[in-house]
Amino acid sequence: MHNKIRISKPGIGLALLISWWTVYFIRLFLHLETIYLLLIGMAAFILGALVLHYFESLFLKIMGTFNRRLDELPMEVVIGGTTGLLVGILVAVLGSFPLSLLGKIGAYLTMIFLILTVYLGIKIGLSKAWDIYGLFPFQPPRGEGGHIHNEQPKVLDTSAIIDGRIYDVCVSHFLQGPLIVPHF
């Protein structure tokens, strides 16, 4: 079986742009006949489309992994990390102006300062996520172990446990809160 390469419309547009720029720069430095420029343009288009297809699929895999991991994080950690990121950017913006006045080395120092403050902002925001989240007036009630429980405990019927119906419901996270299993 052959795997077909599917290239998105933006990928085709970027491949056309790559081929156009390739032909343009080759025409600036080398004086070739039109047929050679067309062949070079087609080769650049095909090569650009293949490379962009690879990077597009790689980007989609990375974003899928990122989204799955982000979905697993508690909201408190996301809010703490985002707050730390914003504070880090604010500190970087405020501190970069004096560094930029130092001339050529100031540009490098500004970049290092930016990376350092954003990293520290995220790191501190993530480590203090629960404290940052505590500053917000709206907070759902917490159960044992600090977990959020929006629902009351549910008592299970023994027949639901025996025939296994409850397993699929629990795996789908449809029920929230603790489940109580009666012992007779």
Contact 23, 37 (CB under 8 A): yes
For residue 136, give both structure tokens: 């917000």
Half-sphere exposure of residue 102: CA atoms within 13 angstroms, side-chain side: 13
pTM of the predicted protein model = 0.48
* In the chain, where the domains are located: 7-72, 75-135, 149-180
Contact 118, 88 (CB under 8 A): yes
Per-residue pLDDT of the chain (184 residues; tens, 9 = 90+): 556 767 777 778 888 888 888 888 888 888 888 888 889 989 999 888 888 888 888 888 999 998 888 888 887 788 888 888 999 999 999 988 888 888 888 888 889 999 999 999 989 888 887 777 677 676 555 555 455 545 677 787 777 777 777 777 777 777 777 778 777 6
